A and B are shown apart, each in its own frame.
Chain A
Amino acid sequence: MKKIKWHLLLLAAFGICAGYVNKPPKVVHQSMDTYQFAYSAPGKYYYGDDLTSVGARAGIDYDCVMAATICTFIANPASEHEDGGGTFFYTTDVPNSGIINNAVFEWF
């Protein structure tokens, strides 16, 4: 213990505290329900639904394109999409959408 660098230990403690203070907020599922879009089948078909309620897991059943706590999805702005209720829409029709309209679209 004699050879420990105490000033570095202080920095380490500061780093740990900063790591705790800046940890990402917990995901509130209610705020995520409306605008979650996932690729559902090889027919290039998207739907808006509460992905967590159907047991989907981020990164396994669908991919996030932004911070995982926000978890938005790429959807093709040129295509129609179908929501969970069977209504077709374009991404521009969705208010406050987390969809990235100008992102490079890719099929998962």
Chain B
Amino acid sequence: MKRKLVAGFVPALLVLLFMYTGFNKLFALADFTSSMLNQPIPHWLAYVLARCIPIAEIIAAGCLLFNATQKPGLYLSFLLLATFTVYISLILLHVFPKIPCSCAGIFRKIGWQEHLWINLALLTLTGLALLPYIRNAFTHH
């Protein structure tokens, strides 16, 4: 029962999240690019990521729409969430020379700490949805 709930709820949550964030960024690409340029990364990388991140988010959400591509969609979602979670952690650990604004994503008005908690929750849920696929992979080997 719980497994079915996770399998049904998590992809729905991720589709809503990534379609929203992906298209929100694309609809205001100049604004998102400007926000990315404020991050402690090289400017050439900021320009590349400003285009790649929303596209990756839309691809992840798109994959989740079909039965056949749900597994890669969940893996891509997990990768995106994990990457952002690591980035937030590095910021909070003062690894970078400055703390950039947390204005580049969906939650423009909240701080990095809150971002981290939300991301960890989403990452955990995505991990739970991936568990059956991982178990299957192990049992088939």
Contact = CB atoms under 8 A, between A and B. Distances in A.
A11 B99 CA distance: 34
Nearest to A58: B34
A12 B19 contact: yes
Contacts of B46: 59
A19 B34 contact: no
Interface residues of B, number: 37
B112 interface: no
A20 B35 CA distance: 18
Q: How large is the interface on A (under 10, 10 to 19, 20 to 34, 35 or more residues)?
A: 20 to 34
Q: Taking chain B's interface residues, is the majority helix, strand, or loop, or is none over half, making it mixed? A: helix
Contacts, number: 101
Contacts of B35: 59, 64, 67-68
A24 B103 CA distance: 11
Interface centre among A4, A5, A8 (most CB of B within 10 A): A8
Contacts of A18: 20, 24
A12 B65 contact: yes
Contacts of B25: 19
B37 A59 contact: yes
A19 B16 contact: no
B17 A4 contact: no
Interface centre among B37, B38, B64, B99 (most CB of A within 10 A): B38
Contacts of B27: 19-20, 23
Given A5-B65, A12-B62, A64-B101, 8 more contacts: A3-B66, A3-B68, A5-B67, A11-B15, A14-B16, A19-B26, A58-B37, A64-B34
Interface of A: 3-5, 7-9, 11-12, 14-16, 18-20, 22-24, 27, 57-60, 63-69, 104, 106
25 contacts: A5-B11, A5-B65, A8-B11, A8-B15, A11-B12, A11-B19, A15-B17, A16-B19, A18-B24, A19-B20, A19-B21, A19-B22, A19-B26, A20-B23, A22-B20, A58-B34, A59-B38, A60-B37, A64-B38, A66-B101, A66-B103, A67-B101, A68-B101, A68-B103, A104-B99
Interface of B: 11-12, 15-28, 31, 34-38, 43, 46, 61-62, 64-68, 98-99, 101, 103, 108-109
